[in-house]
Amino acid sequence: MRRWVAIALGVTGLAAAAFFGPLPAFVESQMNRIDGQPLIAVSDRARELHRSLRIVDLHADTLMWRRDLRDRARRGHVDLPRLEEGNVALQVFSSVSKSPRGLNYDANPADSDTLGALAVAQLQPVRTWNSLAERTLWHGQKLDRAVAASGGMLLKVSDDASLDLLLARRGNKAQPVGAMLSIEGLHDLEGKAENLDRFYAAGFRMASLTHFFDDELAGSMHGLKKGGVTPFGRQIVRRMEDKGMIVDIAHLSHAGVADVLAMARRPVVSSHGGVQATCKVNRNLTDDEIRGVARTGGLIGIGYWDAAVCDTSPRATAKAMRHVRDLVGIDHVALGSDFDGATTTRFDTAQLEQVTQALIDEGFSEDEIRAAMGGNALRVIRAGLRPMASASAGVTAEAHR
């Protein structure tokens, strides 16, 4: 009997080792890929310009995966060494807390969740296995640990002072990378408005109302009903604006986008995606929606994957950025990679010179490239981080100078 128990335990141990060991890394390697197609030639002019930019990416899902941000990985798109090589000044890291089974761009019910199994397989704390709020807070803790262990090369940005510190330090020989927390879908509130205070206290400064399914706040572009913003969603939008959290309309239904734009008191962003004019995919923004975002003073973050720009070439990304520029002006163009978000791209964050070259080829001036690659995002983030009262006071003080 003891022999059979030992054999059974051994088999169980091997199965557990397979499940908890290489399997999560294998899954990620299959979901976050580089397609291997030829890159475009990068000129000396583009390289020199690129090294002088302050680059900001509005969306990456790296925290979802079991990796140490400080170490160069052989899979995925983003880590600190590659951010440094790509000359990224500020990376916005999103917390993804739930993803439906059979995920697609057209219609997903909200009654399934594949990330619970991922939480178990990656040996995340037990509290994250069945709580969306705890998964988000865990992602925040992961970033905090990486920052603390980075020797000053990764700086968390959550207010004016920390943003100023980052930019000042990037003026020295060492080039630290800033990291800001966002949330992809506020279903992680679990219906409790007070959870927003917990997320804010943990450093989250941007959030979208929905992800790939309808939730208690609004309809998703990929949900079943695709409705507008609910009364609870309106309450949360107001609380976000008051606190100094940027409202993100990525993945929101067209009805939801219209509702948010109609009630917005502060700049709104679409953190990652594309535009219907160059890529007619249901999640992408119409020209009227782009104009609406611009009227709030906000940003359109353009991605690098095929469902955002209908290709993985950096030229497709540049064409979408050019459309936004031509429609509403350069001040509303930004980067929103969706790196590490179960996407296949042509390049990783170390190779962002590809986008700089593509913008040059599309006829962007150097000043326009500086704005689109990060200057616009820094402006909107700085304004968005200020609580509503202090932001209003700042505007009043400026008016009296």
Closest by CA position to 359, among listed 302, 308, 285: 302
What is the value of pTM for the model shown? 0.92
Q: Is the pLDDT of residue 293 over 70?
A: yes
Q: Give the separation between CA 113 and CA 271, rounded to whole angstroms.
A: 23
Report how far apart, in Å, the C-alpha atoms of 19 and of each of 5, 23, 123, 135, 248 are. 21, 5, 10, 20, 35
> Residue 12: which pLDDT band, with cuts at 50, 70 and 90?
very low
The mean per-residue pLDDT over the stretch 224-236 comes to 98
Cβ(305)–Cβ(312) under 8 Å?
yes
Q: What is the pLDDT of residue 6?
A: 38
pLDDT digits (tens, 9 = 90+) for 331-383: 999 999 999 999 999 999 999 999 999 999 999 999 999 999 999 999 999 99
The mean per-residue pLDDT over the stretch 8-19 comes to 42
- Mean pLDDT (the chain) is 92
CATH, domain range 55-399: 3.20.20.140
Q: For tokens 């700049």, what's the residue?
A: 267
The mean per-residue pLDDT over the stretch 255-284 comes to 97
Q: What is the pLDDT of residue 171?
A: 84
pLDDT digits (tens, 9 = 90+) for 323-334: 999 999 999 999
The mean per-residue pLDDT over the stretch 255-273 comes to 98
Residue that wins the pLDDT comparison between 287 and 173: 287
Q: Could you give the dihedral angle defined by the CA atoms of residues 153, 159, 164 and 170, in that order, rounded to the nearest 10 degrees?
A: 20
Q: Provide the percentage of residues in the chain whose pLDDT is more than 70.
A: 92
Q: Which two tokens stand for residue 130?
A: 């069945």
Q: Is the pLDDT of residue 393 over 50?
A: no
Identity of residue 236: I
The mean per-residue pLDDT over the stretch 169-196 comes to 94
Q: What is the pLDDT of residue 31?
A: 87
Q: What is the pLDDT of residue 401?
A: 32
Q: What is the pLDDT of residue 27?
A: 83
> Residue 396: which pLDDT band, with cuts at 50, 70 and 90?
very low
- Residue extents of the structural domains in the chain: 1-31, 55-399
Q: What is the pLDDT of residue 49?
A: 98
Q: Give the separation between CA 298 and CA 342, rounded to whole angstroms.
A: 26
pLDDT digits (tens, 9 = 90+) for 44-58: 999 999 999 999 999
> Residue 8: which pLDDT band, with cuts at 50, 70 and 90?
very low
> Residue 18: which pLDDT band, with cuts at 50, 70 and 90?
low
Q: Give the separation between CA 334 and CA 293, rounded to whole angstroms.
A: 12
Q: Give the separation between CA 185 and CA 333, rounded to whole angstroms.
A: 23
> Residue 40: which pLDDT band, with cuts at 50, 70 and 90?
very high
Q: Is the pLDDT of residue 16 over 90?
A: no
Q: Give the separation between CA 52 and CA 350, rounded to whole angstroms.
A: 15
Q: Beta strand 88-95 with 33-34: parallel, antiparallel or unpaired?
A: unpaired
The mean per-residue pLDDT over the stretch 45-74 comes to 96
Q: Give the separation between CA 399 and CA 394, rounded to whole angstroms.
A: 9
Closest by CA position to 64, among listed 216, 187, 184: 184
Q: Provide the percentage of residues in the chain whose pLDDT is more than 90.
A: 87
